[in-house]
């Protein structure tokens, strides 16, 4: 008898602490319509948010290329002070980290923590010309930009680009 009484008391305690009955019966899972609605909302949010972040990524790459070109510019100016000229020939920017054979007063490396010349943020090598077409008394230094093709509007350069046509 005691066992039955305990069992009844226990059941009544469980009923008191259980979720109130709403008349709809127990819910155990989401319906297909609810899942599709959530997926649709997530898709709309992704369509709105992702393009904004991808634009920021491209802007950050352009900023990184401008910064890297400025760093090269500082290193090239230090090289010019020591050697009396800017690097020229096939080695170009490589002369900033490796001693060229024809320079007596080389005090490099002029780029810190670099064992090789880094590529631009899009994975392409920087383009260096000395003497430059746009800077005849110095050098031209540029990145081909996002499309990887030199000579168009998206290039990042150390000279003033012509105004874009609209």
Helix (H, G, I), strand (E, B) or coil at 157: strand
Spatial neighbors of 157 by CB under 8 A, at least 6 apart, are 69, 134, 140, 141, 142, 143
CA angle in degrees (0–180, nearest 5) for 82-66-56 = 160
Q: Which range is least confidently modeled, 72-86, 110-124, 150-164? A: 150-164
Distance separating the N- and C-terminal Cα atoms of the chain: 94
Q: How far apart are CA 10 and CA 35, in angstroms?
A: 37
Query: What is the fold of 56-150?
Result: Glycoprotein, Type 4 Pilin (3.30.700)
- Mean pLDDT rounded to a whole number for the chain: 79
**In this predicted model, what pLDDT tens digit does every residue of 33-54 receive, in sequence order?**
888 888 888 888 887 777 777 6
Beta bridge partners of 156: 143
Which H or E run includes 152? none
**In this predicted model, what pLDDT tens digit does every residue of 72-86 receive, in sequence order?**
888 899 889 988 889
- pTM equals 0.64
């Amino acid at each position: 008898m005691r066992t039955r009484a305990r069992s009844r008391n226990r059941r009544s305690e469980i009923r008191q602490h259980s979720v109130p009955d709403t008349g709809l019966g127990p819910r155990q899972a989401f319906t297909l319509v609810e899942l599709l609605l959530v997926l649709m909302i997530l898709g709309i949010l992704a369509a709105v948010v992702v393009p904004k972040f991808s634009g920021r990524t491209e802007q950050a790459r352009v900023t990184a290329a401008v910064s890297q070109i400025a760093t090269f510019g500082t290193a090239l100016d230090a090289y010019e002070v020591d050697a009396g000229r800017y690097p020229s020939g096939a080695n170009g920017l490589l002369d900033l980290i490796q001693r060229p054979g024809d320079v007596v007063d080389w005090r490099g490396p002029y780029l810190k923590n670099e064992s090789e010349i880094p590529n631009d943020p899009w994975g392409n090598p920087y383009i260096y010309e000395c003497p430059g077409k746009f800077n005849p008394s110095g050098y031209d230094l540029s990145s081909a930009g996002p499309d990887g093709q030199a000579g168009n509007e998206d290039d990042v350069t150390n000279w003033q680009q012509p105004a874009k046509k609209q």
